[in-house]
Structure 1
Amino acid sequence: MQTNLRWIVLNKAVPLAISRGSTGSVRRLVLELEHEGLVGRGETGGFETGHRAYAAEAVAKELEAVLPRFSSAEGLALASELPAFQALEAWLAPLSPPARCAIDLALHDWWGQKLGQPLWRLWGLDRSACVPTSVTLGLATVEQVLARLEGWRERLGCWPSRVKLKLGSPDGPGHDRALVLAVGRRLREQAASQASELQVDANGGWDLATAQELIPWLADQGVVLVEQPLPAQLDPEADAASFEALDLSCPIPLVADESCWNLADLLRLAPHVDAVNIKLLKSGGLSEALLMARTARRLGLDLMLGCYSDSALLNGAAAQLLPLVRWPDLDSHLNLIDDPFEGPALHGDRVQPSTRSGLGVIERPDPSTACVPC
């Protein structure tokens, strides 16, 4: 088995600003596992959630330390049983979630290619069940946010069915209110031709008093959900208690993102939230994410499926789960000017997993041909 780890740079057409800062460009890692003439790929990189952070360089060092095992005698023995996820658990358990994610995705990609099927089909999912994705409006001035909304309409070729508005502005709740009013008014103007959901995501940018003040007002403005109103906390009990304090009086669905990383977090938060946002870099890949998605549905929790500054490779992997998801949020690859990969299918504002085998992602011969929003 041969391994290759390389860096790529992803540049956004429109930088994304949230309550914790702004991002215009990121360095990402692409892992390739080659065996029997097939190459499985996985993407990873650094990210932070306010209470946890992983640097891309540290993730690279983790992978560089473990990858030689795949070419060892032990690795060669396992190669005959690929993907052998159970046998690899001891290798992957010590790794950080983003490091595990790269290996997990590459193995899934190889496995699907070996069987000649996309993962969603191997999992028995219904591709036609995919629903429209939200498109993201980052923090900015009212005029800039409205221009960005128009840019999404031009990029998609249709008015978006779902809009996620970032709040938690450093300029305070007054600016948050102004953004909601302006975007809500613009969406209502289009309602005759296309009704749109307005979602808000504070990325942990409010304190409890601000959240308790704003959330009922957001409900009155027609907002359909609020995501991660309060900062995530390292102490699990304190983190759950913050959601419990809101859940008692929250008039719209409450979604956990930064607070929910794995199945244990999902079970911890299930009594206090209406949905969780699964992201592959948090979960450590598709193995944990699929388990979370199946469990959430059994518990009656709704699912959001999100992304960071991900290319079509990572979003193509996440898209395999879309038939299980009520609120997709896979739009980061649509905002890149140089995405080196081609992955999920896009029909208007509906993202669907590819029908190609494995993750369904291929490398572009010329990344400059990537579609970008206006």
Structure 2
Amino acid sequence: MSLDATFERVSMPLADPFTISRGTQTDAENVIVRIADEGGMTGVGGAAPAAHYGETAGTVEAVLPDLLAAVEEVGDPHALHEIETELAAVVNDNPAARTAVSIAVHDLAAKRLGVPLYRLWGLDADAAPATSFTIGLDETERVREKTAAAVDAGYSVLKIKLGTDRDRELIDAVRDAAPDARVRVDANEAWTPREAVAKTEWLADSGVEFVEQPVPAEDPEGLRFVYERSALPIAADESCVTLSDIPAIADRCDIANLKLMKTGGLLEARRMIAAARAHGLDVMCGCMIESNASIAAAAQLAPLLDYADLDGSLLLADDPYDGIEMPAGEIRLGAQERSGTGARLADE
């Protein structure tokens, strides 16, 4: 079988500047991969590289020719395990680049069988949790306005970025605007262990569900300190990058947060979910700020999750790709009429 692969870089402006404790983002650079079979059926995938993990759009573009050559050499889009093994052998690092190729191949394989990817995996669409909608760091009144707008749009689960000297003020503003919403907090490594423990006390009083990555990933004992004393469940994100991290965080958190752009592929993501379950952890899947070229694939995993944070495309001013319907955060896999991941060009 002959496969033809191409890729292109796309720059997408955000609807609003997006700030976390590490900085502000105004646009997102993704790299889109397309892999076509002899009949012209095409699988689509996307890379959303993060400099925090050592990747940029430039590094993705640099390694994609070798990754795509490996796929073309295997030749069979249904040989998913062989392909992901070859991708990891060709490029040991660069997980976002490998993920883009993995998604495109999975999309093509499911399209060739005429089924949505979640059905190829035998999953129940009705088991998908709602995704949260993220409110980035901003001036307090602007956070209040963004929260009110999210509630007006129907979102019932909100993720609030913290990591400032105004954290309590920001949460109070969120609760004023969204008294009935389910609220989660993400500090993106901004707190010290003792600071994190203290903050969980009043965050619990504000009805927060859990706290994500309270301390730096480079401080595993600090994460354990928080976990053992926290008034709230703790999710590990920056501390949970690859499969080998799962055993290491099992006694330091309650929730493993995986992201496709960290895992290196869809099969590896499913392995991480299984490993987290085996270690007694709940599972969340998050995202970068991404096109539906990759978010649609992450949504296919939703029935395996306890929590979803898949709003990456929702934060864009314009996405060249359509994906899975997520009105008010509901991940409507059951409404998916298209085979594959459900991603397609918005003007198709």
1:161 matched residue in structure 2: 156
1:370 matched residue in structure 2: none
Pairing of 1:141-160 with structure 2 (within 5 A): 141-154=139-152, 156=153, 158=154, 160=155
Runs of 4+ in 1 over 4 A off after TM superposition: none
**TM-score, normalisation: structure 1:** 0.87
Give 1:342 deviation, angstroms: 0.7
- 1:81–1:362: structure 2 CA closer, same or farther, 3 Å change rule? closer
- 1:34–1:200: structure 2 CA closer, same or farther, 3 Å change rule? same
- In the aligned structure 2, how far is the partner of 1:138 from the partner of 1:130? 24
1:15 matched residue in structure 2: 17
2:242 matched residue in structure 1: 262
- In the aligned structure 2, how far is the partner of 1:203 from the partner of 1:341? 28
- In the aligned structure 2, how far is the partner of 1:249 from the partner of 1:325? 26
The letter of the residue matching 1:99 is A
List alignment gaps of at least 5 residues for structure 1.
Answer: 189-194, 234-238, 367-374
Give 1:95 deviation, angstroms: 4.0
1:236 matched residue in structure 2: none
Contact 1:30–1:102 (CA under 8 A) maintained in structure 2: yes
Once the two structures are superposed, residues 203-255 of structure 1 have per-residue CA deviations (whole angstroms, 9 ceiling, x without a partner) of 0011223212211221122111000001112xxxxx43222111111121100
1:186 matched residue in structure 2: 177
Bigger shift: 160-169 or 145-154? 145-154
SS of equivalent residue, structure 1 residue 315: helix
2:31 matched residue in structure 1: 29
- In the aligned structure 2, how far is the partner of 1:287 from the partner of 1:88? 8
Give 1:295 deviation, angstroms: 2.7
- 1:80–1:210: structure 2 CA closer, same or farther, 3 Å change rule? closer
Contact 2:67–2:101 (CA under 8 A) maintained in structure 1: no
- For the aligned residue pairs, the C-alpha RMSD in angstroms reads 1.7
- In the aligned structure 1, how far is the partner of 2:83 from the partner of 2:292? 29
The letter of the residue matching 2:342 is G
- 1:115–1:247: structure 2 CA closer, same or farther, 3 Å change rule? same
Pairing of 1:279-290 with structure 2 (within 5 A): 279-290=259-270
The letter of the residue matching 1:65 is D
- In the aligned structure 2, how far is the partner of 1:332 from the partner of 1:301? 24
Contact 2:45–2:104 (CA under 8 A) maintained in structure 1: yes
Contact 1:330–1:351 (CA under 8 A) maintained in structure 2: no
Once the two structures are superposed, residues 117-141 of structure 1 have per-residue CA deviations (whole angstroms, 9 ceiling, x without a partner) of 1111111111011222111111011
1:79 matched residue in structure 2: 75
2:46 matched residue in structure 1: 43
The letter of the residue matching 1:53 is G
2:256 matched residue in structure 1: 276
List alignment gaps of at least 5 residues for structure 2.
Answer: none
Percent identity, aligned pairs only, is 35
1:371 matched residue in structure 2: none
Pairing of 1:215-230 with structure 2 (within 5 A): 215-230=200-215
- 1:223–1:70: structure 2 CA closer, same or farther, 3 Å change rule? closer
1:330 matched residue in structure 2: 310
How many residue pairs align between the two structures?
A: 341
Give 1:363 deviation, angstroms: 0.8
Once the two structures are superposed, residues 309-335 of structure 1 have per-residue CA deviations (whole angstroms, 9 ceiling, x without a partner) of 101121101000111212211112112
Give 1:69 deviation, angstroms: 4.2
- 1:17–1:282: structure 2 CA closer, same or farther, 3 Å change rule? same
- In the aligned structure 1, how far is the partner of 2:234 from the partner of 2:167? 18
- 1:81–1:312: structure 2 CA closer, same or farther, 3 Å change rule? closer
